[in-house]
C-alpha cells in the first residue's frame, strides 16, 4: 500500500514551458486535492476533486488545470510556467466518510518546482 | 475573520518543557477538527483528531471548546524530535475540503 505518490520529486522549468505533475493514490479515495506551499507559508488549495469526472477550483487555480479520469489519478497541468509558480506542490486524498464525519487527508511527499 | 487562525510562533522551548498552542475557527457549524504536523520540507501528517470530550495520545493532549470556537494542543515533556510546524485543521459543513491554518512553528532546544 503505497498511499499517495507524486512524480517528479524535483523539476526546474524555464519561463513559458509547460509540465504535468503526476499524483496517484491506491487507497480508493474519492477525494483528491492539489495544494501549493511557498517557503515559510501555509498550504493554498489549487484544485480538488470529489470523484472521477468532477473537479472544482480552490483558492488559487489561475495558471493550472486538472483532470480526473480515474479514481486513482489526479494530474496537475501547468501551462506557460511563471516564476510565481515556484513552490512545493502537494497532492492529497481523503475518503468519503459522511457517516463518521471524518475527513482525514493523506498527503504525498511533494514536488519541488522552480521556474526560472 | 479568517476561517482558521494560529499564532505563527516560533515557540522556542527547552527540552522537557510543556508547551500549548491554540487555534481559533470562525465557522460554528464545523464538526471535525485535527492537528497535523509538518516537518521542514516534508508533507503534513495527521498528529491527532480532536474530539468534543478532549483526547490524549501519550504526551499530546487536544481539546475543543465549541463555545469559544477554539482548539488547543498541549505537548508535555517536549523532545527535540517535536520540533516541527503544527497545523490546525477544521472542516467546513458539506463535502468540501478541510481548511488548514498557516501553522505554529515549534523549536525544542537542548
Using CA coordinates, name the residue in chain A closest to B103.
A42
Termini Cα distance of chain B: 37
Whether the per-residue pLDDT at A1 is higher than 80: the answer is no
Whether the per-residue pLDDT at B2 is higher than 90: the answer is no
Q: What integer is the mean pLDDT of B58-66? A: 96
> For residue range A58-96, what is the model confidence (pLDDT) as tens digits?
999 999 999 999 999 999 999 999 999 999 999 999 986
Using CA coordinates, name the residue in chain A closest to B96.
A50
Q: What is the DSSP letter of B59?
A: T
Considering chain B, what percentage of its residues have pLDDT values greater than 70? 99
- The strand ranges marked E within chain B are 4-6, 11-14, 19-25, 33-38, 45-50, 55-57, 60-65, 70-75, 84-90, 99-100, 104-109
CB contact under 8 A, A103 and B98: yes
B98 touches chain A (CB under 8 A): yes
Whether the per-residue pLDDT at B83 is higher than 90: the answer is yes
CA–CA distance, B84 with B86 (Å, rounded to integer): 6
Considering chain A, what percentage of its residues have pLDDT values greater than 70? 92
B65 neighbors B53 (Cβ within 8 angstroms)? no
Interface of B with A in 12-71 (CB under 8 A): 31-32, 34, 41-46, 49
Q: Of all helices (H) and strands (E), which one includes residue A13?
A: strand A10-13
- Predicted pLDDT of residue B51: 86
Q: What is the DSSP letter of A83?
A: G
Among B9, B85, B98, B105, the strongest candidate for a mutation testing the A interface, having the largest count of A CBs within 10 A, is B98
- Predicted pLDDT of residue A99: 47
Considering only the beta carbons, identify the residue of A42, A104, A109 that sits closest to B101: A42
Whether the per-residue pLDDT at B104 is higher than 80: the answer is yes
* Length, in residues, of chain A: 116
Q: What integer is the mean pLDDT of A5-34? A: 96
Q: What integer is the mean pLDDT of B6-15? A: 95
Interface of A with B in 34-73 (CB under 8 A): 41-43, 45, 48, 50, 58
Amino acid at each position: 500500500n503505497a498511499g499517495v505518490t507524486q512524480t517528479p520529486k524535483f523539476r526546474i522549468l524555464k519561463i513559458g514551458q509547460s509540465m504535468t505533475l503526476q499524483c496517484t493514490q491506491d487507497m480508493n479515495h474519492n477525494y483528491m486535492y492539489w495544494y501549493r506551499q511557498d517557503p515559510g507559508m501555509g498550504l493554498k488549495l489549487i484544485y480538488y476533486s470529489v470523484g472521477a469526472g468532477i473537479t472544482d477550483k480552490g483558492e488559487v487555480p489561475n495558471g493550472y488545470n486538472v483532470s480526473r479520469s480515474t479514481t486513482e489519478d489526479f494530474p496537475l497541468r501547468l501551462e506557460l510556467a511563471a516564476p510565481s509558480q515556484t513552490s512545493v506542490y502537494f497532492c492529497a486524498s481523503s475518503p468519503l466518510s459522511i457517516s463518521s464525519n471524518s475527513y482525514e487527508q493523506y498527503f504525498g511527499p511533494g514536488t519541488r518546482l522552480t521556474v526560472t | 475573520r479568517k476561517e482558521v487562525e494560529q499564532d505563527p510562533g516560533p515557540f522556542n522551548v527547552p527540552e522537557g518543557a510543556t508547551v500549548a498552542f491554540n487555534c481559533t475557527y470562525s465557522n460554528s457549524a464545523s464538526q471535525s477538527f485535527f492537528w497535523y504536523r509538518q516537518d521542514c520540507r516534508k508533507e503534513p501528517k495527521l498528529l491527532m483528531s480532536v474530539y468534543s470530550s478532549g483526547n490524549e495520545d501519550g504526551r499530546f493532549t487536544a481539546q475543543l471548546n465549541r463555545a469559544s470556537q477554539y482548539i488547543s494542543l498541549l505537548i508535555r515533556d517536549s523532545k527535540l524530535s517535536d520540533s516541527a510546524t503544527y497545523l490546525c485543521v477544521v472542516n467546513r459543513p458539506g463535502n468540501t475540503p478541510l481548511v488548514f491554518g498557516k501553522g505554529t512553528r515549534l523549536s525544542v532546544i537542548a
